[in-house]
Structure 1
C-alpha cells in the first residue's frame, strides 16, 4: 500500500547549463509541491502505513528549510555564491544543480535518512520510501525512485556537502537536526497507549 503526504514551499534558484536561457542566466523562483510516497505491506496499531502526523517532524523541517530560501549549486560562480549568502539569510548549498530532478533526489535522500534513523514505536512494519515527486510548475514534475539515488549517471549526492544556512538551522525545532542525521544518531517515534486491542 502507498500513502502520500504533500508539502509546499517557495524557492529561488538558477539552473546552470540548462537549455532555457531564462533559467540558466537569471535567478527566479517557483512554488514547489513535494509529494512523499511511503509504502508498506502491513499496517500499524492505528491501521495506518505511517501516521501522517509523524511526517510533521524532521521530514517537514527539512523540506520547509527550502521555503523562502535560495538554493544553489556549490560549484557555481564564487561571486554568485557569495551574493546569495550575503543577501539571503535563508540559503541551502547543494552538491548538485537545484533542478526539479535533483531536488527530487535530494528530498529522497533526506527523507530516506530520517526514516532509516527512526525507531518505530506503534507497530509499523517494513515502512520505506517509495518515491518523491517534486512539482516545479503546474505542468512539470520530477519523480525520484531509490535506484536514482545511487545511479552514477545522475551525479554523486554526498549528503555531507549539503549546507543549511545559520538562519535555516535556527528555525528548526531541533537546531541539531542536520548534524544528528549526518552522525547517524537515531530518534524514536512516540510510544502509543493502545485504546483498542
Structure 2
C-alpha cells in the first residue's frame, strides 16, 4: 500500500547554468508543493503504515531549511533546478523515512518532477 503527505514551502532561486537572457537565470521565487509517498504494509494494531504526524515531524526540519530561503545558498543546491532539488530532498528525507518510495515536487501548478530514487 502507498500513502502520501503533502507539504508546501516558499523559496527563491536563480538558475546560473541556463543561457544568458533566459528568464530563470534571474532571481525569482516559487511556492513549491511537495508530496511524499510512503510504501509499506499496514500495521495490524494501529491499522496504518505510519502515523501521518510522524511523517510531518520527520520532514518538518527539511522543509524549515528551505522555507523562505535562497536555495542557491544551501550546500548542494548551487544550481537548484526542480530536478536537482528533488534529488536533494530525497537524500534528506529517505534516511528519516525508509518507507519513502517516491516524491513529487511542483514548482508551479503545471510544472514539476517525480523522483523515485536512484
TM-score, normalised by the number of residues in structure 2: 0.89
Q: Which residue number corresponds to residue 113 of structure 2?
A: 142
Higher helix share: 1
Which residue in the other structure is 2:22 paired with?
21
1:98 maps to what in 2? 80
Cα distance in 2 for partners of 1:92, 1:99 equals 13
Give the conservation status (yes or no) of the 8 Å contact 2:71–2:77. no
- Report 1 or 2 for greater relative contact order, CA contacts < 8 Å, sequence distance ≥ 6: 2
Which one has the bigger strand percentage? 2
Match of 1:82 in 2: none
State the SS of the aligned residue for 1:146: coil
For structure 2, which runs of at least 5 residues remain unmatched after alignment?
A: none
Find the counterpart in structure 2 of residue 179 from structure 1: none
Shift of 1:41: 2.9
Residue 49 of structure 1 and its aligned partner are, at CA, apart by 1.0
Could you state the TM-score of these two structures normalised by the residue count of structure 1? 0.55
Aligned residues: 117
1:65-96: per-residue Cα shift (whole Å, max 9, x none)? 11111011xxxxxxxxxxxxxxxxxx523255
Q: 1:70-126 CA distances to partner (integer Å, 9 max, x unpaired)?
A: 011xxxxxxxxxxxxxxxxxx52325521111111111111101135xxxxxxxxxx
RMSD between aligned residues? 1.8
Give, in whole Å, the separation in 2 of the partners of 1:93 and 1:2.
Answer: 31
Which segments of structure 1 move beyond 3 Å, counting only runs of 4 or more? none
Secondary structure in 2 matching 1:29: strand
Residues 66 and 95 (structure 1), Cα distance of their counterparts in 2 relative to 1, 3 Å cut: closer
SS at match of 1:136: strand
Return the offset for 1:134.
0.6
Q: Is the 8 A contact 1:63 1:107 kept in 2?
A: no
State how far apart, in whole Å, the 1-side matches of 2:67 and 2:110 are. 20
